Amino acid sequence: MKPRSLILDIFGDYLGVLGPEVRAGDLVAMLSALGVEPATTRMTLSRLRQEGWFTTTRVGRETLYRLSDHMLDILDEGRGRIFADYQEDWDGWWTQMVFQLPESDRSVREQLKKRLSWLGFGPLTPSTWLSPRRHKHHVLDLRREFPTVQIDALESRTDDVGEDRSLTRRCWDLDGLNADYIDFIAGHRRLVARTSLLDDRSAFAVRTELVSTYRHFPFRDPSLPRDLRPKEWRGRDAHVLFLDIHDALGPRADAYVEGLVGGRLSVEASSA
């Protein structure tokens, strides 16, 4: 678990407790609970500020880090993808996105591919991506986000569920994804019975690891409707397990964060 990713996971999961800003010392303490050295956390925060993740202000001897509006939007979008349930029904329509840009623009190409994967599109060809949803509005947003790329959007259907299932296997590695879901379930199922035994700090650490592990799946899983899922698909089971454990750990993990932030504020108030 990389410190920069953990920082984003913490804000994403505890934004309601922390708000959009937090003292560097509190983040240092939280990442220490995850095994990250204080010097590494402070160095990472400094780099993220330079990259535009945060703005900073000084409060006494401490630095206050505030998330940028852009990062807040990313967190909102991320929570929507991670916690959204599977959509069961399907109207048979695909959104087809075709893009063109010079081969030399590799950085832009990679950024666009990451965005498409996050939005639930899969590559039929290197420049033609499909989504089994009516996501034309997402493609229009991508035009604004990537103004140097020629992007076209179409909606199509095959009227043949067999052909539709063939398209899903050409666009996504469903066997590999399903195997990883099985591993996730096997590795986390035991936590259901153990959540009540964890103290607040441990609950925070375990819950953060859970989110850090699970949040990679939405990049790979287009949330296929029931008609397009392979037999023995375990994606929905993994999602339900994730939500159950996340909810069970919530009160103790929130208490740890609230105690950390509130405790610091209480000390400062009594010293004033």
Q: Tell me: the pLDDT tens digits for 216-264?
A: 998 899 889 999 999 899 999 999 999 999 999 999 999 999 998 875 4
Is the model more confident about 167 or about 140? 167
Please tell me the pTM assigned to this model.
Answer: 0.86
Task: Give yes or no: residues 65 and 103 share one domain.
Answer: no
Chain mean pLDDT for the chain: 90
Residue 269: inside a domain: no
Task: Give yes or no: residues 60 and 103 share one domain.
Answer: no
pLDDT at 268 over 50: no
Residue 36: inside a domain: yes
Instruction: Render the burial of 189-226: b for 16+ CB within 10 Å, e for the rest.
Output: eebeeebeebebbbbbbbbbbbbbebbebbebbbbbbe
Q: Are 139 and 103 in contact (CB under 8 A)?
A: no
3-state secondary structure of 63: strand
Identity of the amino acid at 63: T
- Give the domain range for residue 104: 93-156
Which range of 30-34, 74-78, 191-195 scores highest in mean pLDDT? It is 30-34
C-alpha span between 4 and 2 (Å, rounded): 6
Q: Are 236 and 86 in contact (CB under 8 A)?
A: yes
pLDDT tens digit sequence for 4-58? 999 989 998 998 788 888 899 999 999 999 999 999 999 999 999 999 999 999 8
> How many domains is the chain built from?
3
pLDDT tens digit sequence for 99-118? 999 877 889 999 999 999 98
C-alpha span between 140 and 147 (Å, rounded): 11
Residue 148: inside a domain: yes
Residue 251: inside a domain: yes
pLDDT confidence band for 270 (50 / 70 / 90): very low
Task: Give yes or no: residues 179 and 251 share one domain.
Answer: yes
Q: The CATH number of the domain where 101 resides is what?
A: 3.30.70
Task: Give yes or no: residues 152 and 192 share one domain.
Answer: no
pLDDT at 130 over 90: yes
Sheet order of strands, 94-100 included: 122-125, 128-131, 94-100, 150-156
Residue 105: inside a domain: yes
Residue 235: inside a domain: yes
Instruction: Render the burial of 152-162: b for 16+ CB within 10 Å, e for the rest.
Output: ebeeeeeeeee
